[in-house]
Amino acid sequence: MLRLPRFSYLRPASLAEAVAMLADHGAQSSVIAGGTDLLPKMKRRQVQPAVLVGIAHLEALSHLETTASGAAEIGASRTLTSVLKDAGLAHHQPGYAQAAGLVSTPALRNTGTVGGNLCVDTRCNYYDMTEDWRTASGSCLKTGGELCRLASSSPRCWAISSSDTAPIAVALGATAVVAGPEGERDVPVASLYRDDGNAHLALGRGEILTRLRLPAPDGWRSSYVKLRRRSSMDFPLAGAAVALKIDRGVVEGCRLVLGAVASQPVELSDLVHGLVGQRLDEEAIEEVASGASRLAKPLDNADLSYVWRKRMVKEIVARAFRQAAMSEVAAVV
Amino acid sequence: MSAPREWAGRRLGAVPGGADDGDGTFRVVGKAMPRVDAVAKVTGTTVYADDLSFPGTLHCVLLRSPRPHARIRSIDVQEAAGLPGVVAVLTGAAMPTRFGVSPSSEEEQALAADKVRYVGEPVAAVAARDEATAREACKMIHVDYELLEPVTSIDRALEVPMDEPIHASSRDSNIHRLAAVEFGDVEEGFAASDHVREDVFFYEGSNHLAMEEHSATAIFSDGQLTVWSSTQSPHSVHRALSSVVGLPMGHVRVVATPHGGGFGGKVDPCAHEIVVAKLAMITGRPVKCTLTREEVFYNHRGRHPVLMWVRTGVTRDGRIRAMHFRTALDGGAHGSLGAATTYYTGALQPATYDLPAYRFEGCRVFTNKAPCGPKRGHGTPQPRFALELHLDKLAEDLGMDPVELRRRNYVRPNSRTVNGLRITSCAIEKVTDEVLAASGYSRRERREGHGQGFAVSAYLCGAGTPMYLNRMPHSEVALKVDRGGVTVFCGATDIGQGSDSVLATLVAEELGLERSDVRLVTGDTGLTPVDLGSYSSRVTFMAGNAAIEAARKMRTTLAAAAAEHSGGRPAEMTVAGGRIGPLSFEEAVAAAEELYGTLGSVGSYAPPPGISTSKYRGSAVGPSPAFSFSAAVVDLDADRVSGEVRVNKVWIAHDIGRALNPVLVRGQVEGGVYMGLGEALMEAQAYRNGLLHHPSVLEYKTPLSSDMPEIEYLIVEQPDPEGPYGAKEVGQGPLLPVVPAVVSAIHDALGVWVDEVPVTPDKILRALDARARGNDPRTGPRAFPKIPYPPCEKVAIPDAATAAV
């Protein structure tokens, strides 16, 4: 089997200490919560942090609270399974719960965390390979090489944002709370990401994602549809997150975010802008879904043909709209 | 999954030579029981190859080629050898002897010395105090490669090599093997046909994906070499080791450890097995090597990608007059069992359908990819896929029900095929009836997007010819009985299929004991008599018959002793329920020891001579002492918008002769269906720029448990006259009809043909798009390449006297 490289494991007593440790060790370090993304990557020598700073045990990152209005605050080190078991969250934030429940397998959801899935590294099938394979292939931009193996003339890395929960968090207008050497700051989840497969997170040195804040639904419905080859385990080949506010069949507000078609979640605000004030009928859904498919630009660095993945964006967007439209508006308890 | 059927009610016919208690019933045979090693396996006490650890063990890591095709100018190991903790560094120069699982393909070196032929080919090995040190040392080995043009497709391999052929043995081309043979007069058959049709198909390669990665440990001590390995054929490893490391067979012992699955991937002697042996001899210490999953993909020996062309002539009423079948196999970088695989792509078409005239032309090419070899079904799933879909299309042309077309051409029991194969027991009609009745195929719901597909197949119960030419038994069993109990010694290797359980069942039945009374020593070339290995579905039939022979001799001995002791006649000594006549089994054994001294008996099995009548180049492939027959119906939904397929249910009927243990039968059937669905819908050992696309179990897609449909299995028991208690194989047959039945069902659902597997959603959409544009509603290969087949060897159809079965 593949073995882990040697590393030091640090167990900070507090969030502040964790931040200090990360700031101290800089690029040589990484935070670790569930480790379901990081450890396999270390085994394949895609990353080799000398220092891992554990955060799974920190109180500050492990709470989960849903208010009467349905607003939720989730600690970044909560496991996906523990979040899925929370009845309040499932009731008020069905779109988020749906996405969290579609991540990988039950076993990995038992270990993988809310923060981990939001931050999950971008993926590319020239990158997510063992050291031996990458030696044979030649290194790429994401592994310190000069060349993107997918598009050799490209100055940038095209690795794919592969989080299931990021698109829905963006669609819901969620906020990420980030702790760093300068204290805490709130960042819209949409601003947490950068369109660069090689540096997809807009986090500074020593910064840790500590909490996810989902706003109260306030009449918004939400839904996430994931495209994958098999019924479990696989990363998304495309994802469609929809947040929708409808009053008597007429759209009052709408957000559509695609996952796994670029290096960051792609919000299609111009596309759905025209829906506001319209009736959400099959024709309208079809038009938006076709538009989303036109705008999506998947590349040949994931499973199955990218032509098919692009085509399927239309289907999953349409499914997500139908699902969202049919879903109940969560009653405020 | 559905509940097991009523086994007792499904026994048909008399049992030849059965050791029944006189009333036609059995005490052990046919009873649904767990494997004999079930508790050890589920509680974790089973010691697999990678669990072995001896004091002072060195760990071995192989350095593998990062280049698909290159000459090795030099290998500098000095820096690696100097790393603290490194005990030995080995290169191919130390082991020049070439080997291969088949004597016709002995072109492999455990470590490549002159050139590399695929990414992942081993070029050097390090033995060090621990794995991390060995791995680090591998990075310090400097190999100077001179790059050669890589050949990565069948088409390219058929052209003149740009730099040099992959193997010098194939002279100036990359063609490894050509076959051309004709039985009867095919042109005459086509001329007499009312309708002739041609089709082209492609079947992608796939890996075995056994859960256990290969692992081997070697000790060389006091002139004796012992290698423990997760191999399917300790005998093959034994032969290769003796030859490469230069020790007499009598100084080499190979122990097959308990297995986490083989499926053909552990039949070939592997580089790491030879390397650990050599390193143990050099260092004098135990040396161990366990492959990573990625290395297993490189070691491969999996399903050959095969391009196929078939032309068949039929009469208006659906009778086949002639068939011409061509195959082109992408063999990868080495021979492995590929010569046999090539012949297997042509051998069994006449074993399901009565072909009055048949021409087969086969070709295997070398490419710079991981070597292909035997995988479950060995060279027959690919032509089965092509043949069954081709018959569906012929039926459509004729406006005939596809099942009826097949029935009109089915082989008959006790017949001789056009290529000289002997068919004895044959329940092909019965498996068809069963699977149609259970699935309601003819009354299936007809709606857009829903379909059912039917297919039928045949498979061997053991290859009739050994992998290397000899007239010795294929399987041998020795039985030791004394006051210490009953021990069966047999070279057969339990790779998870349950052969240990089968041996225990047969011996227990014969001696009137329970399975737990029988101790097993198997798969150990130092202790057990020879068995050729767990491949070609041969073990139940061959080792089973050998075990029965040994046990019957022992029973006779014990009955004689019991008779002598009790003053009765041997014939009166009923052997049953732990008693022999009036004596307990233990008393009878004591009496026999008193009378005869040490008690031992042996049995062996070699296929009878009449299993084949035709002699031609390649005629060693195909003959078998018996054939199993399987039929499947697959029910699925296929989405016309997304191209996604959901398999709802698979019905599978299998002609097993007799189910010696229904639990094991069920396991094999379900495993075969799973593997067939994987190959039909997902699996692909695919390459990009000479590099394996998916060398991980996350990216190499195979169905997950949550993807598996319900399976209803129907076991047809019509005892075979020569099988042990009438039993036939089940390890490979049930996979075969599943793949074409899936594709046929997709056609039933959407009206389009996908003439290549795996059927991915985009292929379905491409076929639907083609139909929408008014083109041929099909995805698949367009043409079959021009191949320089030699003139056909004409083989006369066996005359009536020769053909008599």
Asked whether the CA dihedral B736, B738, B739, B740 is positive or negative, the reply is positive
Q: Which residue of B has its CA nearest to A235?
A: B698
**Above 70 in pLDDT, residue B117?**
yes
Is CATH 3.30.365.10 the right assignment for the domain spanning B306-465+612-793?
yes
3-state secondary structure B338-382: HHHHHHHHHHCHHHCECCCCEEEEEEEECCCCCCECCCCCCCCHH
Q: In sequence order, which residues have a C-beta less than 8 Å from that of residue B241 and are 6 or more positions away?
A: B225, B227, B247, B252, B254, B269, B273, B274, B277
Spatial strand order of the sheet with B224-229 comes to B86-91, B122-128, B58-64, B287-290, B215-221, B224-229, B252-256
The DSSP H or E segment spanning B578 is none
Q: Which residues pair with A11 in a beta bridge?
A: none
Q: Which residue of A has its CA nearest to B641?
A: A315
pLDDT digits (tens, 9 = 90+) for B667-679: 999 999 999 999 9
Q: Which residue of B has its CA nearest to A305?
A: B762
Q: Of the candidates A243, A239, A261, which has an alpha carbon nearest to the alpha carbon of residue A251?
A: A243
What span, in angstroms and rounded, lies between the C-alpha atoms of B630 and B172? 43
What span, in angstroms and rounded, lies between the C-alpha atoms of B303 and B265? 9
CA separation, residue B335 to residues B296, B374, B461 (Å): 17, 11, 24
Kindly report the nearest CA distance between residue B68 and chain A, in angstroms: 9
First to last CA, chain B: 39
Q: Which residue of B has its CA nearest to A229?
A: B701
Q: Chain B interface, mutation test: which of A48, A121, A129, A290, most B Cβ atoms within 10 Å?
A: A129
Contact A223, A285 (CB under 8 A): no
- Who wins on pLDDT, B4 or A105? A105
Average pLDDT over chain B, rounded to whole? 95
pLDDT band at A330 (very low <50, low <70, confident <90, very high): low
Q: Average pLDDT of A28-45? A: 97
Rg (CA), chain A: 20
What span, in angstroms and rounded, lies between the C-alpha atoms of A196 and B703? 33
Residue from the list A3, A136, A308 with its beta carbon closest to the beta carbon of B119: A136
pLDDT digits (tens, 9 = 90+) for B718-732: 999 999 999 999 999
Kindly report the nearest CA distance between residue A1 and chain B, in angstroms: 5
Q: Of the candidates B679, B662, B714, B322, which has an alpha carbon nearest to the alpha carbon of residue B501?
A: B662
Q: Which residue of B has its CA nearest to A6?
A: B132
Task: Please state the CATH superfamily assignment of the domain spanning residues A59-119+160-326 in this structure.
Answer: CO dehydrogenase flavoprotein, C-terminal domain (3.30.390.50)
The DSSP H or E segment spanning B201 is strand B195-203
pLDDT digits (tens, 9 = 90+) for B545-558: 999 999 999 999 99
pLDDT digits (tens, 9 = 90+) for A306-329: 999 999 999 999 999 999 998 866
Kindly report the nearest CA distance between residue A299 and chain B, in angstroms: 15
> Reduced to 3 states, what is the DSSP secondary structure of residue B202?
strand
Contact A291, A285 (CB under 8 A): no
Cis peptide before B758 (omega within 30 of 0): yes
pLDDT digits (tens, 9 = 90+) for B36-92: 999 999 999 999 999 999 999 999 999 999 999 999 999 999 999 999 999 999 999
Contact B289, B59 (CB under 8 A): yes
Kindly report the nearest CA distance between residue A125 and chain B, in angstroms: 8
Q: Enumerate the domain spans of chain A.
A: 59-119+160-326
What span, in angstroms and rounded, lies between the C-alpha atoms of B220 and B281? 5
What span, in angstroms and rounded, lies between the C-alpha atoms of B129 and B134? 8
- The phi-psi region of residue B280 (left if phi > 0; otherwise alpha if psi is between -120 and 50; otherwise beta) is alpha
Tokens of A319: 């499914």
Contact A51, A5 (CB under 8 A): no
B646 interaction partners in chain A (CB closer than 8 Å): none
- Rounded to 5 degrees, what are φ and ψ at A191? -90, 0
CA dihedral B630, B635, B640, B643 (to 10 degrees): -60
3-state secondary structure chain A: CCCCCCCEEECCCCHHHHHHHHHHHHHHEEEECCCCCHHHHHHCCCCCCCEEEECCCCHHHCCEEECCCCCEEEECCCEHHHHHCCHHHHHHCHHHHHHHHCCCCHHHHHHCEHHHHHHCCCECCCCCCCHHHHHHHCCCHHHCCCCCCCCCCCCCCCCECCCCHHHHHHHCCCEEEEEECCEEEEEEHHHHECCCCCCCECCCCCCEEEEEEECCCCCCEEEEEEECCCCCCCCCCEEEEEEEEEECCEEEEEEEEEECCCCCCEECHHHHHCCCCCECCHHHHHHHHHHHHHHCCCCCCCCCCHHHHHHHHHHHHHHHHHHHHHCCCCCCC
Q: Chain A interface, mutation test: which of B64, B696, B763, most A Cβ atoms within 10 Å?
A: B696
Tell me if A1 and B290 make a contact (CB, 8 A cut-off): yes
Contact B459, B380 (CB under 8 A): yes
Tell me if A308 and B761 make a contact (CB, 8 A cut-off): yes
First to last CA, chain A: 50
Residue whose structure tokens are 């030649």: A138
Q: Chain B interface, mutation test: which of A160, A228, A308, A322, most B Cβ atoms within 10 Å?
A: A308
Q: What is the CATH code for B49-148+208-299? A: 3.90.1170.50
pLDDT at residue B172 in the model: 86
Q: What is the ipTM of this complex?
A: 0.95
Q: Of the candidates B205, B249, B207, B254, which has an alpha carbon nearest to the alpha carbon of residue B231?
A: B254
A125 interaction partners in chain B (CB closer than 8 Å): 693-694, 699
Tell me if A312 and B642 make a contact (CB, 8 A cut-off): yes
Q: Average pLDDT of B313-331? A: 98
Tell me if B698 and A233 make a contact (CB, 8 A cut-off): yes
Match domain B472-605 to its CATH number in 3.40.190.80, 3.30.365.10, 1.10.10.60, 3.30.70.260: 3.30.365.10
**Above 80 in pLDDT, residue B137?**
yes
Contact A159, A241 (CB under 8 A): no
Tokens of B490: 């047999």
pLDDT at residue B465 in the model: 94
pLDDT digits (tens, 9 = 90+) for A195-218: 999 999 999 989 999 999 999 999
Residue from the list A3, A303, A307 with its beta carbon closest to the beta carbon of B699: A303
Q: Enumerate the domain spans of chain B.
A: 49-148+208-299, 306-465+612-793, 472-605
Kindly report the nearest CA distance between residue A181 and chain B, in angstroms: 37
pLDDT at residue A3 in the model: 94
Tell me if B765 and A229 make a contact (CB, 8 A cut-off): no
Q: Of the candidates B179, B195, B310, which has an alpha carbon nearest to the alpha carbon of residue B740?
A: B310
Question: What is the pairing mode between strands B756-757 and B195-203?
Answer: parallel
What span, in angstroms and rounded, lies between the C-alpha atoms of B131 and B312? 57
pLDDT band at B3 (very low <50, low <70, confident <90, very high): very low
pLDDT digits (tens, 9 = 90+) for B264-313: 999 999 999 999 999 999 999 999 999 999 999 999 999 999 999 999 99
- Residues of B contacting chain A (CB within 8 angstroms): 64, 66-67, 119, 131-132, 135, 213, 290, 292-294, 641-643, 682, 689, 691-696, 698-699, 701, 703-704, 706-707, 760-762, 765
pLDDT digits (tens, 9 = 90+) for A88-121: 999 999 999 999 999 999 999 999 999 999 999 9
**Above 80 in pLDDT, residue B19?**
no
**Above 50 in pLDDT, residue B11?**
no
A233 interaction partners in chain B (CB closer than 8 Å): 698, 704
Kindly report the nearest CA distance between residue A308 and chain B, in angstroms: 6
Contact B695, B293 (CB under 8 A): yes
**Above 80 in pLDDT, residue B5?**
no
What span, in angstroms and rounded, lies between the C-alpha atoms of A104 and B704? 12
Tell me if A230 and B641 make a contact (CB, 8 A cut-off): no
Tell me if A230 and B707 make a contact (CB, 8 A cut-off): yes
Output the pTM of the full model.
0.96
Fold identical between B49-148+208-299 and B472-605?
Answer: no
